Amino acid sequence: MSTPLPAQLDRIAARYATKPAVSDFGAAIEQPSTGFTWGYGNTDQPYFIASITKLYTAAMIMQLRAEGALTLDTPAADLLGADTMRGLVVHDGHDYGPAITVRELLTQTSGIPDYYEQKRPDGTTMADEMLRVDIARSFDDYLETARSMPSRFAPSTPGRAQYCDTNYQLLGRIIEVATSGSFDDALRRRILEPIGLPHTWLFTPHTLDRYDEVATIRHGRNRLHIPKTIASFPPDGAVVSTVTDQVRFLRAFIAGELFPSSYLAEMTARWHSVFSPLIPIHYGIGMMRYRQPRWQNPFTPNPPMIGHSGAFGTVLYHVPDRDLYLAATVNQMRSVSLSHTLLLRLVSRFS
């Protein structure tokens, strides 16, 4: 007698949940076509979803597009002012900053330096710094940092893209300008309340005292206490959620509950490599595609998945070929591949 599917998934999840590096494990799966649902761990435990926040930002940009507040080809300078964009991408004496478009920000093809992982003039990165010290930063701080670093390519250079958090800081400010309010207010009014995400909220300087309510983040075996740092990431990494709320959000994102469903085909039509060739993650318009190369798993290839992942060991993906929605977190920064190998093992149980 074959093992029931839930038991197979439980067995996989249990192996990951008990790993020494994993903190506050949680996972959830839904398959709408069959009505199948599954969860493991504390599915009501809030956790920092990290860069999956970018999906929320992209959804609101698409809403503003549908409302006529902007187009994908609107220069960001038209919305934020030329001074904000000036000096962010300079090549051969030419400043491309004022010409950068909303599309280039969403697709990670702007050429703007990444304030988070790119090396600063002193050779350090913010990603490393935050492991040692908790510092509050501002939008202007991030732009100043980006201006101090060399741009790797001019906007929309064929074949070039770079995963860049600075792009999403700018998109967050565009949302604030277009809605005449805070990013937090826009998030609540445009996403959390309309689709019903009761356990999802934005971590901000006003909610620093709620840090201990959220799942512990670890770097190796070390617990990270970085509330000021995370609160500085509103549009690119500061949303708190649960795995069940995450699945609900992604289903709404894919189904057209948040913005016209016709946009999704455009958002997933073209993919750009944003990391090294060995990392099988590509960027479309505001979202990632994770597709394991056939050579890595030639006998049981996995289908492509669309959604997003985050630096705290978080994943949120839709598998179109199998009508699956999966959310999981291991709350671990050092083992960056851990959550993706978990994802692949869970998906492999569905055919």
Q: What is the mean pLDDT of each run of 10 residues along the chain (351 residues)?
A: 90 95 94 97 96 98 98 98 98 95 98 97 94 96 97 96 98 98 98 98 97 96 96 98 98 98 97 88 97 64 92 97 97 90 94 79
Domain match, 150 and 214 both? no
Q: For residues 115 and 127, give the distance between their C-alpha atoms in angstroms, rounded to a whole number.
A: 9
Q: For residues 34 and 322, give the distance between their C-alpha atoms in angstroms, rounded to a whole number.
A: 10
Q: For residues 76 and 64, give the distance between their C-alpha atoms in angstroms, rounded to a whole number.
A: 13
What phi, psi does 337 have (nearest 5°)? -90, -5
CB 201 within 8 A of CB 239: yes
Domain match, 254 and 343 both? yes
Domain match, 230 and 253 both? yes
Q: Which of 132, 147, 179 is the last residue of a domain?
A: 179
Domain match, 119 and 174 both? yes
Domain match, 137 and 214 both? no
CA separation, residue 24 to residues 15, 51, 130, 202 (Å) = 13, 18, 21, 20
Q: Which of 179, 207, 222 is the last residue of a domain?
A: 179
Domain match, 38 and 186 both? yes
**Strand pairing class (36-41; 26-31):** antiparallel
- Tell me, what's the pLDDT at 182? 98
Nearest to 246 by CA among 25, 89, 44, 107: 44
Chain centre to alpha carbon of residue 215: 18
Domain match, 294 and 312 both? yes
Domain match, 79 and 30 both? no
Domain that holds residue 67: 56-179
Cα Rg, the chain, nearest whole Å: 19
CB 112 within 8 A of CB 151: yes
Domain match, 237 and 323 both? yes
Tokens of 30: 């839904």
Helix (H) or strand (E) holding 105, with range, is helix 102-106
How many other C-beta atoms lie within 10 A of the C-beta of residue 320?
12
Domain match, 211 and 343 both? yes
- Tell me, what's the pLDDT at 141? 97
Nearest to 236 by CA among 46, 112, 76, 57: 57
CB 252 within 8 A of CB 195: yes
CA separation, residue 26 to residues 286, 315, 333 (Å) = 25, 11, 15
Q: What is the CATH number of the domain that holds 301?
A: 3.40.710.10
Domain match, 63 and 171 both? yes
**Strand pairing class (222-224; 47-48):** unpaired
Three-state DSSP class for 13?
helix
Q: For residues 159 and 273, give the distance between their C-alpha atoms in angstroms, rounded to a whole number.
A: 8
Tokens of 99: 């010409």
Nearest to 312 by CA among 207, 208, 196, 203: 203
Q: For residues 240 and 75, give the distance between their C-alpha atoms in angstroms, rounded to a whole number.
A: 31
Domain match, 151 and 271 both? no
Q: What letters, b where the CB count within 10 A reaches 16 and e where it falls short, cover 252-287?
A: bbbeeebbeeebbeebbeebbbbeeeeebbbbbbbb
Overall domain count for the chain:
2
| Residue that has been written with the tokens 């949680």 in this structure | 26
Q: Which of 179, 210, 227 is the last residue of a domain?
A: 179
| Residue that has been written with the tokens 């929605």 in this structure | 325
Instruction: Compute the Cα dihedral for 61, 66, 72, 78 and give only its sign.
Output: negative
